[in-house]
Amino acid sequence: MRSLLIVFAALGLVPSAACHEHQRSLGSIATEDGAPSYRDELLSLHKNLVSIPSISGDENAVGKFLVDYLTERGYHADLQFVAPSDSTPKGKERFNVLAWKGKRMATPKVVVSSHIDVVPPHIPYGIDSGKVTKETMIRGRGSVDAKGSVASMITALNQLDSANAINTNDVMLVFVVGEEAGGAGMQAFNNSISKMKPPPQFKAVIFGEPTENQLACGHKGGLFCTVVATGVPGHSGYPWLGKSANELMVRAMTKILDADLGSSKLFGNTTFNIGTFNGGLAGNVIPETARVKFVTRVAIGPEATGQLVVKEKIQAILDEVDEDAFEMVCDHGYGSVECDCEVDGFKQVTVNYGTDIPNLAGNHTRYLYGPGTILVAHGARENLTVADLEEAVEGYQKLIVHALKP
C-alpha cells in the first residue's frame, strides 16, 4: 500500500517548510521538586497553544506554530487545507495538521486527534503566581477545550518515543480545525482518506476532549435547527385581527420543553436548548415573524438516525400548535455516540456535548478522553490544574499502548 505521505500529497497537503517564521519561544517555568521530567515541556507547549488566538475559522497562526513545534522535534508535519469559513480572515488559509515520527508513514494503526479551534472570545493565558505545583491553576480560552488535550497528546507521544515503547510508524497525530463550528476539519480529513483505494483501516482513534481524565463510554447526539414562525401583522390593540408569530413560537417552545423527546439508560433524557429567539418589530405591532435557533442533545440512537426520531417529535408539536405557521430547517445532526470505555485503570463517564467522532467514518475502536471539565469550557473562567495535564499525559500513553496491542 502506498504511504499516507504520498497519498496526502496528491490530495493537497503542503509540507511544513514555509511555517518556520511563526515559531515562538518556549520559556522555562520554575517547578517543584519531584515533578515529572516532561513538566516544563508540557506546560510551555500548553502556554503557547493557549496564548495564540484560534477562534473557529481563524486557526492559521496556531496551526503554523504546531507545525514548526513538531517539525523541530523530529516529526513529519504537513498541512491539509480546509475550505475557509465566513469568519476566516481574507488572505489566510485554514488547515489541519497531520504529524508522525519515523522514516515513513505507512497506514497508521492508531490516530490521536483533537481540535485546535476554540469558541469566542479569546481569553489570554494565565497561571497562578509562584512556584508551579500540581495544584497550580492555568486559565485561558482553550486551556481545557481542547488545547489541554493537544499539549498532553503530543507530550505523551514524545515520552513513548523517547522510551522506545512503541513503533512510531504506528501512530499519527491529527489536529483539526472547525470542531466548534460544524466539524469542517474532521470532515476534510475523512473525505481525504475516503478517496484512497483502498481506504486506510485504522485500528483505533483516540479523540481528545475534556472528560476529567475519565474514559467516556460515549456522548449524546445532536440536532441543530432553525425554526421560523410566520404570522399576520397588525395593531396590538386588535390582536384578534392578526396572528402573532411570537405567541405561536412561545406556545410551541413551551410544549417542546415539556415534551418527552426520548431517553436511554446510558445517556438519560434528550434535552432542548433555545439558543436564540428573535421576533417582532415594536411593542405595539403584532409580530409577523419569529425565529429560534435551537440545539437538541439527543439521548437515543442509533448514531445515524436517532436525531431523526427527535426531529419528528419536534415537528409534530409544531404542527399541533399551527400546521401552517412553522418552517424548521436543520443543518445537521446525529444520534447518540458510543465509545469503548473498557480499559483497565480508567474510570468511566458519559458526556452531553458533541465531538468530531461522528465526522470520521470507519470501523475503528473509538476512545474519548482528555483533561479538564466541560463545566468550565466555553465560559469566562475556563481553567484546569497542572495535575490535570500531567494525568492526561499518563492517560494518553496508556491508551496509545493499549490501542496498539494485537
Q: Which residues pair with 263 in a beta bridge?
A: 269
- 179, 180, 288, 338: the active-site residue: 179
* pLDDT tens column, 156-213: 999 999 999 999 889 999 999 999 999 999 999 999 999 988 888 999 999 999 999 9
Return the C-alpha cell found at 21.
Answer: 517564521
Helix, strand, coil percentages for the chain (3-state, nearest 5): 30, 25, 40
pLDDT at 159: 97
Predicted TM-score of the model (pTM) = 0.91
C-alpha–C-alpha distance, residues 226 and 5, integer Å: 41
C-alpha–C-alpha distance, residues 179 and 330, integer Å: 18
C-alpha–C-alpha distance, residues 152 and 392, integer Å: 6
* pLDDT tens column, 117-162: 999 999 999 999 999 999 999 999 999 999 999 999 999 999 999 9
* pLDDT tens column, 319-365: 999 999 999 999 999 999 999 999 999 999 999 999 999 999 999 99
pLDDT at 79: 95
Q: Is 179 labeled as catalytic in the residue annotation?
A: yes
User: Do 138 and 131 form a contact (C-beta atoms < 8 A)?
Assistant: no
pLDDT at 379: 96
C-alpha–C-alpha distance, residues 234 and 158, integer Å: 68
206 to 111, 372, 387, 400: CA distances (angstroms):
6, 16, 21, 8
Return the C-alpha cell found at 404.
Answer: 496498539
C-alpha–C-alpha distance, residues 95 and 258, integer Å: 42
Mean pLDDT of the chain: 92
User: Do 398 and 214 form a contact (C-beta atoms < 8 A)?
Assistant: no
- For residue 177, how many C-alpha atoms fall within 13 Å in the half-sphere facing its CB? 28
